Amino acid sequence: MDTVPNKAPVPASGSPASAEDATTRPSAPLQYRVVAKCGVTKARVGVMSVRHADVDTPVFMPVGTQGTLKGVLPEQLLALDCRIMLGNTYHLGMRPGTTVLEKAGGLHRFMGWPRALLTDSGGFQMVSLLQLAEITEQGVQFQSPYDGSECMLTPERSMEIQNAIGADIMMQLDDVVKTTTTGPRVEEAMHRTIRWLDRSIGAHARDTEQSIFPIVQGGLQPDLRRVCAAELTKRNTRGFAVGGLSGGESKDEFWRTVHLCTDLLPEDKPRYLMGVGFAADLVVCVALGVDMFDCVFPTRTARFGCALTRAGQINLKQRTFAQDMRPIEDDCDCSTCRTYTRAYLHHIVTVEPVACSIVSVHNVAFQLRLMGDMRDAIQEGRFPAFVKSYMAVRFPDDTVPQWIRDALAAVNVQL
């Protein structure tokens, strides 16, 4: 056994959430407790209790940028026992805007989602999607993609929008630079992110209901990451995020930065790695001590006719599936795999709009089931064995990438 003793039970990954009974919600807007640890790696199982859900961690959070998960209904997410999903501050602030969101009573009611929500600050979209964006100490100046007007997103405005959205967890506005940026701009962005956190905390109007997560920045420079984490952890926040990765850096730089940041962040608060969603990356980063993940990948790849399996992604458009009467995965009990064959999906993918929904349901189910399997393995003292088994299926014939071998060796798992 490699779990710590006296661990508390966590509901099974497929059990109904106790989240929707408001009378059981904790008095604090976010409480987190670690209930089991792997005795070999840095993996752990926890429960993050917020107003709308008890979220078992490690958790993958599907991304509903505009207040909807593309191709998936809230009822379908509930059927998959999804406890938490994302919305985006930039997009929701632009449309429908805070007036509509406040009139609706917040995003939960507006979109018909009873469980937990996390909102990104909008900073990443400012820089990645908008060509006409200028970052100053005040905030991010940009041109609206809807009407061309000049707009300014400040830490205060980001908080105002997120308070109107009413998400259980809100991200601070951070100064985002491309991951591969070098030179003084990286340090400038890191220090500005710290200053913007203080402004965000000062502007937060609903601290008894919503929680701010700061974002550790510093590019690929360990010293800057250390400085940033040291400063952010001085603030009394209820969780932390690691940002500025999955943006073009090498996988070797990626895992080393994650490994460092989880060492720097508190043991008693959840750690959120932003923008990571490939299955092998999830397994590695759980071993490195990460608790929360998000990515658009499962639904985006579904729109291109691709389905996720333990052996890797399959492209259902390929003719090899034209007469394949198996489900996407034989051991998956999602509604897609219970109902449809690969042959049928080959027939409709990228042609019929409903195919996006059918494949997206499976891909989200795949991600959630993977996280549940990891939680079970950690609790049952077999996580290192799970990792080895997973990698053997995903990378047969000893083809595991070297960066994965190195990352897992750093937490005592030898492949």
Annotated catalytic residue within 81, 168, 281, 294: 294
The response to whether 333 counts as a known ligand-binding position is: no
Check if 330 is active-site.
Answer: no
Bridge partner residues of 134 (DSSP): 141
Query: 206 vs 25, 56, 114, 161, 199, CA distance in Å?
Result: 16, 24, 19, 12, 15
Tokens standing for 250?
């090498």
Counting the structural domains of the chain, the total is: 1
Is 134 within the bounds of a domain?
yes
Long-range contacts of 387-393 (CB under 8 A, 24+ apart): 387/41, 387/283, 387/287, 387/413, 388/413, 388/415, 390/280, 390/283, 390/310, 391/280, 391/283, 391/415, 393/310, 393/311
What radius of gyration, in Å, describes the C-alpha atoms of the chain? 21
How many CB atoms are closer than 10 A to CB 138? 12
Bridge partner residues of 272 (DSSP): 241, 292
The response to whether 46 counts as a known ligand-binding position is: no
Bridge partner residues of 135 (DSSP): 140
Is 399 within the bounds of a domain?
no
Is 291 within the bounds of a domain?
yes
Is 414 within the bounds of a domain?
no
The response to whether 168 counts as a known ligand-binding position is: no
Is 388 within the bounds of a domain?
no
Strands (E), 316-393: none
Rounded to two decimals, what is the model's pTM? 0.93
Check if 294 is active-site.
Answer: yes
Q: What CATH number is associated with residue 158?
A: 3.20.20.105
d(CA 88, CA 165): 10
d(CA 356, CA 316): 12
d(CA 3, CA 379): 6
Note the residue count of the chain.
Answer: 415
Backbone conformation region of residue 304, classed left if phi is above 0, alpha if psi is from -120 to 50, else beta? alpha
d(CA 64, CA 293): 14
Is 18 within the bounds of a domain?
no
Angle ∠(263,270,197) on CA atoms, nearest 5: 85
How many CB atoms are closer than 10 A to CB 351? 10
Tokens standing for 10?
């966590």
- The predicted pLDDT at position 146 comes to 74
- The predicted pLDDT at position 27 comes to 78
Contact predicate 305/350, CB 8 Å: yes
The response to whether 295 counts as a known ligand-binding position is: no
The response to whether 334 counts as a known ligand-binding position is: yes
- The predicted pLDDT at position 130 comes to 58
Annotated catalytic residue within 120, 168, 175, 291: 120
Is 58 within the bounds of a domain?
yes
d(CA 134, CA 104): 32
The response to whether 108 counts as a known ligand-binding position is: no
> Which structural domain range is residue 123 located in?
30-295
Query: 266 vs 269, 271, 290, 309, 367, CA distance in Å?
Result: 6, 8, 12, 34, 26
Helices (H), 36-135: 74-79, 89-94, 98-104, 107-111, 123-129
Nearest of 73, 69, 110 to residue 87 by alpha carbon = 69
- The predicted pLDDT at position 132 comes to 67
- The predicted pLDDT at position 13 comes to 39
The response to whether 122 counts as a known ligand-binding position is: yes
Is 72 within the bounds of a domain?
yes
d(CA 243, CA 258): 10
Contact predicate 303/71, CB 8 Å: yes
Beta-sheet strand order (sheet of 133-135): 133-135, 140-143, 150-153
- The predicted pLDDT at position 265 comes to 98
Tens place of pLDDT per residue across the chain (415 aa): 443 333 333 333 333 344 444 445 567 999 999 999 999 999 999 999 999 999 999 999 999 989 999 999 999 999 999 999 999 998 899 899 999 999 999 999 999 999 999 999 877 776 666 566 789 999 998 877 777 788 899 999 999 999 999 999 999 999 988 888 899 999 999 999 999 999 999 999 999 999 999 999 999 999 999 999 999 999 999 999 999 998 899 999 999 999 999 999 999 999 999 999 999 999 999 999 999 999 999 999 999 999 999 999 999 999 999 999 999 999 999 999 999 999 999 999 989 999 999 999 999 999 999 999 999 999 999 999 999 999 999 999 999 999 999 999 999 999 9
Contacts of 13 (CB under 8 A, 6+ apart): 56, 81, 368, 369, 371, 372, 373, 375, 376
